[in-house]
C-alpha cells in the first residue's frame, strides 16, 4: 500500500474522529455497527433455517457467516494491516465497540488486524442474499437493501474500527462470496414451484 494512500486514509479518519459527539448520531451509529456482529446475524439465520419455507435461505446465510468469518480472519492474518488506533472523542457508548476479531489464527495480537472488515463482508453478503430473495416480490424497492451494507461500512469507519479500504475490501469480499455460494447452492431454486 502506498504511503500517500495511507496518509489520505489517516487524514480522513482524523476528520471522522472530530465529527463525533452528537449523542443521537453516536448511539444510532453504534447500534448499526453492532447489528453486523456475528452473534446478531446468527440467530436471524437460524430462525430462517428453522422455518420450512425459508430453510434454504437460512442454510445459505449460515454457511456464508461461517465462510466469511473464516476468510476475513485468514486474510487479516496474511495482510496484517493495523486498525486505526485513534481515541473515540464521541459520546460515551453503553458498551465498548466490538472489534470483530475472528482472526483467531494469527499469532500475537490478532485483534489489531483490520483488512478486510468482517462487519462489511457480512452485511454485504446478507444484502446480496436478501436482494435476490426479495427481488420477485419487490422488484422496484428491493435495491434499497443495499443501503444497509453501505451504512454498516461507514459505521465501522465512524466508530474508528476500520480505515476506508478495510470496509471496501470487506464489502467486495462479501458480495463475491455471496454470489459464489448462492450459485453453488442453487439459491434460485426458491423461485421454482414446490412439490407437494
Q: What is the per-residue pLDDT for 127?
A: 92
Mean pLDDT for the chain overall: 81
Contacts of the segment 93-100: beta carbons below 8 A, 24+ positions apart: 93/26, 93/27, 93/30, 94/27, 94/30, 95/34, 97/30, 97/33, 97/34, 97/159, 97/160, 97/161, 98/34, 98/37, 99/161, 100/36, 100/37, 100/38, 100/161
User: What is the model's pTM?
Assistant: 0.83
Measured CA to CA, the distance from residue 77 to residue 110 in angstroms comes to 7
- Nearest to residue 16, comparing CAs of 174, 147, 160? 160
Compare 180 and 114 and report the one with higher pLDDT: 180
Helix (H, G, I), strand (E, B) or coil at 171: helix
- Look-up of cell digits 463482508: 121
Which residues, listed in sequence order, are joined to residue 113 by a DSSP beta bridge?
Answer: 82
User: Residue 99 pLDDT > 80, yes or no?
Assistant: no
Please compute the mean of the pLDDT values over residues 101-119 and round it to a whole number: 67
**Helix residue ranges, H only, the chain:** 3-19, 23-34, 38-50, 55-79, 118-134, 147-158, 164-184
Is it the case that residue 186 has pLDDT exceeding 90?
Answer: no
Do 129 and 57 meet the contact criterion of CB atoms below 8 Å apart? yes
pLDDT of residue 20: 73
Measured CA to CA, the distance from residue 174 to residue 180 in angstroms comes to 10
Instruction: Give the model's confidence band at 95: pLDDT under 50 very low, under 70 low, under 90 confident, else very high.
Output: low
Q: What's the pLDDT at 102?
A: 59
Looking at residue 169, what is its pLDDT?
Answer: 92
pLDDT, tens digit (0-9, with 9 covering 90-100), for 58-94 = 888 999 999 988 888 888 877 877 777 766 666 677 6
pLDDT given at position 173? 94
pLDDT for 107 equals: 60
Q: Tell me the percentage of the chain whose pLDDT exceeds 90.
A: 18
Give me the residue spans of the domains in the chain: 19-188
Calculate ∠ Cα 60-64-65, nearest 5°.
120
Per-residue confidence band for 174, with pLDDT thresholds at 50, 70 and 90: very high
Amino acid at each position: 500500500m502506498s504511503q500517500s494512500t495511507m496518509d489520505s486514509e489517516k487524514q480522513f479518519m482524523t476528520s471522522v474522529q472530530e465529527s463525533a459527539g452528537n449523542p443521537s448520531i453516536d448511539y444510532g451509529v453504534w447500534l448499526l455497527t453492532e447489528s453486523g456482529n456475528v452473534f446478531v446475524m446468527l440467530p436471524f439465520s437460524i430462525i430462517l433455517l428453522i422455518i420450512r419455507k425459508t430453510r434454504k435461505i437460512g442454510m445459505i446465510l449460515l454457511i456464508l457467516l461461517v465462510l466469511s468469518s473464516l476468510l476475513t480472519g485468514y486474510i487479516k492474518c496474511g495482510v496484517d494491516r493495523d486498525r486505526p488506533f485513534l481515541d473515540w472523542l464521541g459520546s460515551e457508548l453503553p458498551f465498548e465497540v466490538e472489534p470483530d476479531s475472528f482472526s483467531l489464527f494469527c499469532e500475537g495480537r490478532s485483534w489489531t488486524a483490520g483488512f478486510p472488515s468482517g462487519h462489511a463482508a457480512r452485511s454485504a453478503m446478507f444484502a446480496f442474499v436478501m436482494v435476490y430473495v426479495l427481488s420477485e416480490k419487490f422488484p422496484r424497492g428491493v435495491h434499497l437493501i443495499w443501503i444497509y451494507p453501505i451504512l454498516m461500512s461507514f459505521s465501522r469507519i465512524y466508530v474508528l474500527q476500520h480505515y476506508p479500504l478495510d470496509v471496501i475490501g470487506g464489502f467486495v469480499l462479501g458480495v463475491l462470496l455471496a454470489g459464489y455460494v448462492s450459485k453453488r447452492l442453487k439459491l434460485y431454486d426458491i423461485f421454482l414451484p414446490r412439490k407437494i
